[in-house]
Structure 1
Amino acid sequence: MADYFFEEIIINILHRLPVKTLLRCTAVCKSWHSLITSREFTSSHLKFAQKVAPSLLLRRCIKSSERYELYSDDESFARFAAFQFPFRSMNSFFTIVGSCNGLLCLSDDRVYFMNTIVLWNPSVKKSVLLPKPNMIYNSHGSFLQYLGFGFDPVGSDYKVVRITYVDLATHPQIEVYKLSSGVWHDMSCLELDSVLCSRARPVYVNGASHWLARYLDLHDVIVSFDMSLEVFSTMMLPALRVSDDELRSRDLAVYMDCLALTLWSVSGAEQCFCVWVMNQYGVEKSWTKTFCFDFSSFGNEFVRPLWIRKQGEVVVVCQDGRLVSCDRGGGVVRDVGVRGHRSDTYQRSLDVDTFVCSLVLMERGRCSSDVATGNSLHSLQTDDGDNVGSSGSEHEKGSGKC
């Protein structure tokens, strides 16, 4: 009985340790290695980590490399860790499909579809290079591709859904990759009447990936893919006012763990930013216009919003590459201390998402990370025109919560 309580106390302590410390603990003895790398411990440690306020992951492309850094999602916006990025892209940088439970889904498809999709946990430096999907250029010619990524809480599995159109007038090919099986499954039999119409990153919330879509009559809707049920559903957008409908750009987002719609315009008479929130998931009447403010005070510096912080502040990228955070009324604008470059490549590479450090992929032992970071991936292109200033050393590994 004493031995049992001693083991229970050890596990209870280990649950509360950061990933970086746990990786060291795997070298203490075989039993600790077996425990920490087990699927059960990975899951229970993640639950503890999710109780702590998540960090913000900032991705930016500096010269010929991608930089992934963690920032505190509080008033300080302090950087406390930086991950070494091990992959090489044929495009200027990878597309971030999504972030879920410390796992990032990356696709090398910004301009050229390279059929390179990677699941990467930067905290434990492990990754999985997905096999080539069924539809590729060599077999089908040119096509449009849309990806989604998320977690199936019922099957405890991570999934990537891929929707490809050879002709927008025909039914798309639908494939689902499951980490548990390691293969693509053809799901083209699923009903999907509308056509996905936005290249913006999909939003994962409430166990489903979401995209903006459009019917042939030009009626816009939200399409979701449930990761557990593996079915598509359609939700209506909020009933926009005339002034809102004139805002030219719109994206889906997550605000306070709810599905949200952001609308903004940086040209013309209306230079505004608005956020509508679906307060009850799936209940279309619960759409509420949460806040809206005028961006004209930014002058011509404003480029686009990147993220809505938990306090309601909006992280915005400016023309000179700086990141600023403005309150939900648009009256207080604060420089968060991230310096960049005014080049289009740098600005488009900026991406912000919540992130929690986890042990996901540790239970898989020797992953295919060696394959994914070796010569099988093409070299990253260099943009010699980007002379980017930064707030830290190029080779800083960082330290902190992870």
Structure 2
Amino acid sequence: MADYLPEGVIVNILQRLSVKNLICCTCVSKSWYSLITSPEFISSHLNFTSATEKDASLLLLRRCLADSECYSLYTDEKFCTWNDTLKFPFTSINSYFTIIGNCNGLLCLSDDRVLYLHTIILWNPCIRKSIVLPKPNLIYNSFGTFVQSFGFGFDPISSDYKLVRITYVDDAQEPLPQVEIYRLSTGMWQDISYLALDCVIYNRSRPAYINGSTHWIANSIQRGDLIVSFDMCREVFRKMTIPASLVNLESFSSKDVVAYKGSLALVSWNLSGNDPGFCVWVMKEYGVAESWAKHFVMTYQNAGGGIMRPLWVRKNGGILVARQDGRVVSYDVVGDGVEDLRIRGSSSEEFVRSVHVDGYMESLVLLGRGPMFDDAHVRNILPLLNFGDGCGSSVNSYGCCYLRSLGNGFKHSHGSYAAHGAM
């Protein structure tokens, strides 16, 4: 029947199918394979999915169990409803990968929690395609210890995926950071340090991609805490103020930005003090400081006590939280209801920190790439550490260095850019 249908009709039908079904459809014929793997169809399917599934959001959950990273998809509306388990093909040389962010079904991962090997991966788990990025310009071998922040997003003007990296060198005489940008279209890093970012993004500050820009919590000597954004289209930095009551409020010691119903939201929390707890603010009108509105407040005493870490703001207004006892629970917007999501893990601090939740949308991005981008192939070219007696451990050619011991300078030195308690 397909032989008698115009291509436009076939495209209209196919773009309504799920990613899993489309992968099966590539086996129908050579013409269907060429159509589905074409950049035009991948873009068309992505746009259709984005327009029709705004109210049926998926959430990506990552947690670490038994020395392995587990990735699963859940529905936001009924988080207890399991949707799919994603096979994670990579092994971190650290305890687990840092999830920089995700955009249009593409996850950006960095293996940088302790050791410097500059392994950055773009991964589409739904189609099992991935890319290992080249090493950035600033690496340990050339500059010594440093801390770094990343932001990942999409440029709709050029239809390009971009990764920006802001690096602060510990012993640098110049206080301004080095800024680099990677564009998937070119496969290269470019130095854009001339943008002269004059504030410090907190180490491990969680980035949030919203409205075409990546956002972080940063600090300025003159202005205190603020939000820094990087426009993926114009490739410029901008600054936003946070709610005035939070600028110099020491009781809320940690802050992070997340997306909430397409808006920028700020989660602030403290683990100690007279009234430990967390609150959520939402920017009703993007870029307008006066539009910040307090959305949710929860004290740890009202939540049943114990140390908690906010993870995500759900579309129904509830807050997903990782508790110290290893449970992931959801608190409703009124603050008097708790939903146990039946997700269990260890009570260790390392496990609680490894839990990550983010919005997700399935896509075909990277499908048109050849077999060199299959997960199995990419896994085989990643750095491998073989720690025997702790000495002379080797790293393959991509790793770019040889570790003499686990206690050497290849570990992060946080220096003056201390961690901010980010999610």
Using the size of structure 1 for normalisation, the TM-score is: 0.90
Which residue number in structure 2 is paired with residue 374 of structure 1? 380
Residue of structure 1 aligned with 2:70, choices 64, 67, 70: 67
Which residue number in structure 1 is paired with residue 337 of structure 2? 332
Residues 1:154 and 2:160 are matched in the alignment: no
Matches within 5 A, 1:339-354: 339-354=344-359
Q: 1:241 to 1:345 in 2, by over 3 A?
A: closer
Which residue number in structure 1 is paired with residue 44 of structure 2? 44
Residues 1:274 and 2:249 are matched in the alignment: no
Q: 1:187 to 1:326 in 2, by over 3 A?
A: same
Identity %: 51
Once residues 377 and 5 of structure 2 are traced to their aligned partners in structure 1, the CA distance between those partners, rounded to angstroms, is: 42
Residues 1:206 and 2:211 are matched in the alignment: yes
Once residues 241 and 248 of structure 1 are traced to their aligned partners in structure 2, the CA distance between those partners, rounded to angstroms, is: 10
How far the C-alpha of 1:201 sits from its partner, in A, is: 1.6
Q: 1:262 to 1:244 in 2, by over 3 A?
A: farther
Residue of structure 2 aligned with 1:84, choices 84, 87, 100: 87
Query: Quick one: which amino acid aligns to residue 64 of structure 2?
Result: C
Cα shift readout 1:188-208 (whole Å, capped 9, x = no counterpart)? 111211111241321110111
How far the C-alpha of 1:245 sits from its partner, in A, is: 5.2
Residue of structure 2 aligned with 1:237, choices 227, 235, 242: 242
Residues 1:264 and 2:274 are matched in the alignment: no
Structure number with greater CO (CA < 8 Å, separation at least 6) is 1
Greater shift in the superposed pair: 49-58 or 131-140: 49-58
Query: Quick one: which amino acid aligns to residue 374 of structure 1?
Result: N
Once residues 220 and 84 of structure 1 are traced to their aligned partners in structure 2, the CA distance between those partners, rounded to angstroms, is: 38
Matches within 5 A, 1:2-401: 6-50=6-50, 51-52=52-53, 53-75=56-78, 77-167=80-170, 170-217=175-222, 219-240=224-245, 246-369=251-374, 370-378=376-384
Once residues 79 and 130 of structure 2 are traced to their aligned partners in structure 1, the CA distance between those partners, rounded to angstroms, is: 31
Once residues 380 and 23 of structure 1 are traced to their aligned partners in structure 2, the CA distance between those partners, rounded to angstroms, is: 37
Cα shift readout 1:30-51 (whole Å, capped 9, x = no counterpart)? 1100000011111111122222
How far the C-alpha of 1:6 sits from its partner, in A, is: 3.4
Q: Tell me if the contact between 1:126 and 1:361 (Cα under 8 Å) persists in the aligned partners.
A: yes
Q: 1:300 to 1:292 in 2, by over 3 A?
A: closer
Once residues 75 and 332 of structure 2 are traced to their aligned partners in structure 1, the CA distance between those partners, rounded to angstroms, is: 17
Equivalent pairs, count: 380
Once residues 386 and 12 of structure 2 are traced to their aligned partners in structure 1, the CA distance between those partners, rounded to angstroms, is: 43
How far the C-alpha of 1:279 sits from its partner, in A, is: 1.0
Which residue number in structure 1 is paired with residue 420 of structure 2? none
Once residues 9 and 267 of structure 2 are traced to their aligned partners in structure 1, the CA distance between those partners, rounded to angstroms, is: 46
How far the C-alpha of 1:9 sits from its partner, in A, is: 2.2
Once residues 205 and 287 of structure 1 are traced to their aligned partners in structure 2, the CA distance between those partners, rounded to angstroms, is: 16
Once residues 168 and 84 of structure 2 are traced to their aligned partners in structure 1, the CA distance between those partners, rounded to angstroms, is: 39
Cα shift readout 1:337-356 (whole Å, capped 9, x = no counterpart)? 11111112211110000111
Q: Tell me if the contact between 1:96 and 1:201 (Cα under 8 Å) persists in the aligned partners.
A: no
Q: 1:298 to 1:199 in 2, by over 3 A?
A: same
Is there any run of 5+ residues in structure 2 with no aligned partner, and where?
388-423
Q: 1:206 to 1:78 in 2, by over 3 A?
A: same
Once residues 183 and 243 of structure 1 are traced to their aligned partners in structure 2, the CA distance between those partners, rounded to angstroms, is: 40
How far the C-alpha of 1:377 sits from its partner, in A, is: 2.6
Greater shift in the superposed pair: 258-267 or 126-135: 258-267
Once residues 192 and 242 of structure 1 are traced to their aligned partners in structure 2, the CA distance between those partners, rounded to angstroms, is: 19
How far the C-alpha of 1:368 sits from its partner, in A, is: 3.4
Cα shift readout 1:113-150 (whole Å, capped 9, x = no counterpart)? 22000000000000000000111000111111111100
Greater shift in the superposed pair: 363-372 or 23-32: 363-372
Cα shift readout 1:21-70 (whole Å, capped 9, x = no counterpart)? 11111111111000000111111111222221220100001112111000
Q: Tell me if the contact between 2:318 and 2:330 (Cα under 8 Å) persists in the aligned partners.
A: yes
Q: 1:56 to 1:379 in 2, by over 3 A?
A: farther
Once residues 72 and 286 of structure 1 are traced to their aligned partners in structure 2, the CA distance between those partners, rounded to angstroms, is: 29
Q: Tell me if the contact between 1:247 and 1:270 (Cα under 8 Å) persists in the aligned partners.
A: no
Cα shift readout 1:167-188 (whole Å, capped 9, x = no counterpart)? 4752211110000110111111
Is there any run of 5+ residues in structure 1 with no aligned partner, and where?
382-402
How far the C-alpha of 1:333 sits from its partner, in A, is: 0.6
Q: 1:211 to 1:4 in 2, by over 3 A?
A: farther
Q: Tell me if the contact between 1:314 and 1:326 (Cα under 8 Å) persists in the aligned partners.
A: yes
Which residue number in structure 2 is paired with residue 396 of structure 1? none
Greater shift in the superposed pair: 240-249 or 224-233: 240-249
Q: Tell me if the contact between 1:222 and 1:237 (Cα under 8 Å) persists in the aligned partners.
A: yes
Greater shift in the superposed pair: 293-302 or 355-364: 293-302
Using the size of structure 2 for normalisation, the TM-score is: 0.85
Query: Quick one: which amino acid aligns to residue 74 of structure 2?
Result: Y
Query: Quick one: which amino acid aligns to residue 351 of structure 1?
Result: H
